[in-house]
Amino acid sequence: MERQLARSRWYRIIPVVFITYSLAYLDRANFGFAAAGGMAEDLGITPGMSSLLGSLFFLGYFFFQIPGAHYAAHKSAKRLIFWSLILWGAFATATGMVSNAGWLVVIRFMLGVVESAVMPAMLILLSQWFTKAERSRANTFLILGNPATVLWMSVLSGYLIDALGWRWMFIIQGAPAILWAFVWWRMVDERPKEASWLSVPEKSALEATLEEEQREIKPVKNYAQAFRSRAVILLCLQYLLWSLGLYGFVMWLPSIINAAPNMDIVTTGWLAAVPYLLAIIAMLGASYLSDKTLNRKIFIWPFLLLGALALYGSYLVGSSNFWLSFILLVLAGGAMYAPYGPFFAVITEILPKNVAGGALGLINSMGALGSFVGAYIVGYLNGATGGFGASYLLMAFALLSSAILTIIVVKSPRQRKTSPVLPLSAP
* Angle between helical axes of 145-163 and 265-293 (0-180°, round to 10): 170
pLDDT of residue 378: 81
pLDDT of residue 407: 93
Separation between Cα atoms, residue 177 and residue 238, nearest integer Å: 31
pLDDT of residue 180: 93
pTM over 0.95: no
In this predicted model, what pLDDT tens digit does every residue of 23-46 receive, in sequence order? 877 766 677 677 777 787 788 777
pLDDT band for position 310 (cuts 50, 70, 90) = very high
Q: What are phi and psi of 198, to 5 degrees?
A: -105, 145
pLDDT band for position 426 (cuts 50, 70, 90) = very low
In this predicted model, what pLDDT tens digit does every residue of 218-239 receive, in sequence order? 766 667 777 778 888 999 999 9
Separation between Cα atoms, residue 415 and residue 406, nearest integer Å: 14
Give 367 or 216, the one with higher predicted confidence.
367
For residues 278 and 59, is the Cβ–Cβ distance under 8 A? no
One-character DSSP codes across 263-324: --HHHHHHHHHHHHHHHHHHHHHHHHHHHHH---GGGTHHHHHHHHHHHHHHHHHTTS-HHH
- Residue 120's closest CA among 86, 73, 180? 73
pLDDT of residue 416: 55
User: How many CB atoms within 10 Å of residue 202?
Assistant: 18
pLDDT of residue 1: 44
In this predicted model, what pLDDT tens digit does every residue of 154-211 receive, in sequence order? 677 778 888 888 888 888 888 888 999 999 999 999 989 888 888 888 888 888 888 8
pLDDT of residue 425: 39
For residues 44 and 90, is the Cβ–Cβ distance under 8 A? no
For residues 5 and 131, is the Cβ–Cβ distance under 8 A? yes
Q: Please, what sign has the CA dihedral across residues 349, 367, 273, 11?
A: positive
In this predicted model, what pLDDT tens digit does every residue of 76-111 receive, in sequence order? 889 999 999 999 889 888 888 888 878 888 888 888
